[in-house]
Chains A and B, each alone.
Chain A
Amino acid sequence: MEKKLPKIEIIEKYCKGCHICVEFCPTKVLEMQGFVAAVKNLEACIKCMQCELRCPDFAIKVITE
């Protein structure tokens, strides 16, 4: 069965580059690109929503079906 991938939306205007989402992602889906977070490896996402939950700046949305 094909794995359904979520859509991780990062609102760059809101991101302050605190690294929290990158560090606390259990499967290292995110990385820093310059001053803002970006998706590096979407396939590894397990939809735990930790990044969305911990982002202090309302900058991440994990959109699942």
Chain B
Amino acid sequence: MAFDYEKWLRPNKLPHIWCPGCGHGIVMKGLIRAMETLKLEKENTTIVSGIGCASRLPGYIDCCTLHTAHGRAAAFATGVKMAKPEMNVILVGGDGDGTAIGGNHFIHACRRNIDMTYIIMNNYIYGMTGGQFSPCTPTGHKASTTPYGNPDPGFDIAKLAIGAGATFVARGTAFHANQIDKLITEAIQHKGFSVVEILDDCPTTYGRRNKFKSVIEMMNRLKEVAVPVKAAEKMTAEQLQGKVLTGVLYKEEKAHYTDEYAKVIERAKAAK
């Protein structure tokens, strides 16, 4: 049976602003399916975003939403979680918003292990602002500000999140649409800061400059580079060259900030 997405969408908001073939819509559908699977209540779910193409997502979903300043999704979301610890807080954003402009907020949200879920749609570029290179643009690839090729190595968001202290890190791709909702479901269920990186395609500002002829070619590239974690165990380092691991990459049970802060409140009350 066709999935009822309308239940979670704001009426009269579609069609959305994303370009033809942009994977953000696929990720949004995955998020909606995950929220439906977990039977989240609209009044008890907040989606927070910064600025950018991916950050337009909360505008279409019918629940509590917050569209904030560039890169500051994690900061605002922390505020929401502290004020209402029972709220399910989901952050969405792009690679530029999350790891460059909001990089500091991102690593500290990881470090504090706040019980939130961050979905980063990594399309390797700043799409909305005109195709400038982001920290995730691969070396040698072109952007509007690196017309002769990007000299910098790109960030590995998953490794960054693990290093900074996030307790659940997963990666999927827009091509593997079926996997997206499973990863997001697991991430929301996890107690602690969970990061889900979804490799995405930007046909307009990234594909066009990097000789991808069509959306299909970009989708096929995602299909080719993705290797599930279990399959990678049997592969040699040579075979894994240029590949990206997908699936749940890291999981750890650890005390999380919201619980710890509740204990601080208890201690402060007892001291009076």
Q: Residues of A at under 8 Å CB distance from B?
A: 9, 13-14, 16-20, 23-24, 52-58, 61-64
Contacts and interface: CB of A to CB of B under 8 A. Distances in A.
Interface stretch (B11-19, B108-116, B240-248): B11-19
- Choose among B18, B23, B29 the residue with the greatest number of A CB atoms under 10 Å from its CB: B29
Interface string B164-203: 0000000000000110000000000000000000000000
A62 B177 CA distance: 16
Interface of B: 1-3, 5, 9, 14-16, 18-26, 29, 177-178, 214-216, 219
Contacts of A53: 26, 29, 177-178
- Choose among A13, A23, A52, A57 the residue with the greatest number of B CB atoms under 10 Å from its CB: A57
23 contacts: A9-B2, A14-B15, A16-B20, A18-B20, A18-B21, A18-B215, A19-B215, A20-B216, A52-B2, A52-B3, A53-B177, A54-B26, A54-B177, A56-B26, A58-B5, A58-B9, A58-B29, A61-B2, A62-B2, A63-B1, A63-B2, A64-B1, A64-B2
Contacts of A18: 20-21, 215
> Lowest 9 A-B CB distances belong to which pairs?
A56-B25, A18-B21, A16-B20, A61-B2, A18-B20, A53-B177, A23-B216, A14-B15, A56-B26
A41 B19 CA distance: 27
A20 B215 contact: yes
Nearest to B30: A53
A62 B162 CA distance: 39
A18 B29 CA distance: 16
B174 to A, nearest CB: 8
A14 B17 CA distance: 11
Nearest to B220: A23
Nearest to B26: A56
A13 B214 CA distance: 22
Contacts of B18: 56-57
Nearest to A7: B2
Given A16-B19, A57-B16, A64-B1, 6 more contacts: A13-B15, A18-B215, A56-B18, A56-B24, A58-B25, A64-B2
